[in-house]
Amino acid sequence: MTPAQIEQFFAILQAANPQPVTELEYTSVFELLAAVLLSAQATDVGVNKATRKLFPVANTPQKILALGLEGLESYIKTIGLYRSKAKHLMATCRILVERHGGEVPRTREELEALPGVGRKTANVVLNVAFGEPTMAVDTHIFRVGNRTGLAPGKTPLAVEHQLLKRIPAKYLVDAHHWLILHGRYVCQARKPLCAQCAVAACCRFPAKTPA
């Protein structure tokens, strides 16, 4: 994709959705962190279903710890890998209470030091909660970056670096949401909806491969 095509690509996405938001449901930074931690290899819909029951009962590190491991598991058992996620979330809550006064830290280093929190999760929290221009490359963004020619790369980190380098600064804060939503609903893995795609003219995919 040329710089002109990239500008057009994001201008179109912005016009269609001026204020994009995550589809994970949360009302605090901690709820967001917990939801993102639980969302690994799971759908936002599935996570929301579980947290709608969990958060009214326990939506702070202290309250999660008070539930105990089995108590926490009982709320999130519908989510894939729930046992390991429960252990990670409990350990994260303990660190938040002991080292951060129960607050979610604002630096990548401190976030990535939390159990179960990798670069992608840290990027989501930094972007969504704190408004930083980070790029959390999930399967959707990885696919869109490669398929469209926007940011080709063999690894999520390579795609992340390409996106940060190529996306105009004015679009960066919201680009993460636009790309995820585009990959989730239009540029789908098996059958991309090229005929319905508003940014098809900027994309290298339709010209080379039949939809």
C-alpha–C-alpha distance, residues 20 and 71, integer Å = 34
165 in active site = no
- How many angstroms separate the CA atoms of 170 and 207, rounded? 29
Contact criterion met (CB below 8 Å) for 85 and 38: yes
Please identify which of the residues 138, 165, 174, 191 carries the catalytic annotation.
Answer: 138
Cα–Cα separations (whole angstroms), residue 33 to 2, 120, 125, 128, 190: 35, 11, 6, 10, 30
Question: Are 186 and 148 spatial neighbours (Cβ–Cβ below 8 Å)?
Answer: no
Q: Does residue 120 carry a catalytic annotation?
A: yes
Per the residue annotation, which of 49, 63, 87, 120 is the catalytic one?
120
Torsion sign (Cα): 163, 166, 172, 176: negative
Q: How many other C-beta atoms lie within 10 A of the C-beta of residue 165? A: 8
Residues belonging to the active site: 120, 138
